[in-house]
Amino acid sequence: MKAPVEVKNLAGQYFDKASDSIAFIFKSLMQLNVEPKRLYAKRLNSLPNDIIINIDYKSGETTGFISFFFSIKIALHICGKLVPNIDNSSFSDEHLDILGEMGNMIAGNAISKFQLINQDMRIQTPYHSGYFNILAAEKEYWIFSSNYECDSGKVGILLAQKKEQE
């Protein structure tokens, strides 16, 4: 079943604003250019091996979440750029904390952009998530996702908007 046109339009608007925030944070903090590819009305197959940061949102009757996902390669690259003396020989809780802070920066940048679409938009504190959460949400949420062009590794976004109860 396909998402209704109004759901796709709203998801597209939120996606554009989230993409602007991701591109801004990557460029300003890490001097990395990331360009979103096409937005798909489905989950990307490459999520299981990624580090995932979720941000829940509520806008009037609309609820959902936005997930940013990073390959281990780009996650280590990000951590090395933000904390130059970090040990990147293995992935640790310290890396997750750094990525969580980057999620906070993206969320902080995105909220004012989201409020241009809907002034009542509220977002929650970013948190680490897992692939199983994305899978579990697929029955109750419309899913939209995209990867980004990035030479240093894979970066992507997944936007999930709660389906109306029938």
- Residues 20-78: tens digit of each pLDDT: 888 898 888 888 888 777 776 666 665 657 888 888 988 777 888 988 888 888 888 88
> In angstroms, what CA-CA distances link 82 with 51, 101, 107, 125?
17, 10, 17, 20
Average pLDDT over the chain reads 84
Structural domain boundaries in the chain: 5-31+48-162
Distance CA 46, CA 69 (A): 10
CA distances from 97 to 28, 35, 47, 110, 147 (A): 19, 25, 20, 20, 23
C-alpha dihedral sign at 9, 10, 11, 16? positive
What's the CATH code, domain 5-31+48-162? 3.40.1550.10
The pLDDT of 82-105, averaged and rounded, is: 89
Q: Which residue has the higher pLDDT, 152 or 89?
A: 89
pTM value? 0.82
Q: Are 131 and 48 in contact (CB under 8 A)?
A: yes
